[in-house]
Structure 1
Amino acid sequence: MQNNTDCCSRTNRLDYSGLDQLPLAMAYVPWQTFHKTYDHATALSLGTVFPELCMPFCGKGGACL
């Protein structure tokens, strides 16, 4: 005998019909202009050659010490 309060019961399932008709995703990627870049050693230590993309992780609270 099946219990109707079971999380897998037919009455508790969400209806996802029609989702296959929607677009999967749409991205917005702004144009990046090529400016001054870091030298090789600095870029390797920071993880990027572009100063605009240098966003160090400062931890919880956002305070870099």
Structure 2
Amino acid sequence: MNNHKTDDDRPERKDMDCLDQMALAMAYVPWQYMSRTYDPEKALMIGTIFPELDKRFTGRSGGRR
């Protein structure tokens, strides 16, 4: 009688087999239309040329305010 358990015999491995069929991640990237831009000096200081992406760090967590 073989009492040696393989990875396939463990219950937690059987539960994870269904994860092999799932997508790793899905991204949502909205279209961005180039309307206004910062001048090059300001864009370098801020870190983006697009005013729509100029989101100031407020030091708070990402929850509701």
TM-score (norm 1): 0.64
Structure 1 window deviating more from structure 2 (16-25 vs 45-54): it is 16-25
Structure 2 unaligned regions, length at least 5: 1-9
State, as a whole percentage, how many aligned pairs show the same letter.
54
* Equivalent residue number for residue 33 of structure 2: 33
Runs of 4+ in structure 1 off by over 4 angstroms are 10-14
Measured in 2, the distance between the counterparts of 1:15 and 1:36 equals 51
* Equivalent residue number for residue 54 of structure 1: 54
Q: How many residues align?
A: 52
Q: Please give the per-residue CA displacement for 1:28-51, whole angstroms capped at 9, x wherever unaligned.
A: 111100111000110011010000
Structure 1 unaligned regions, length at least 5: 1-9
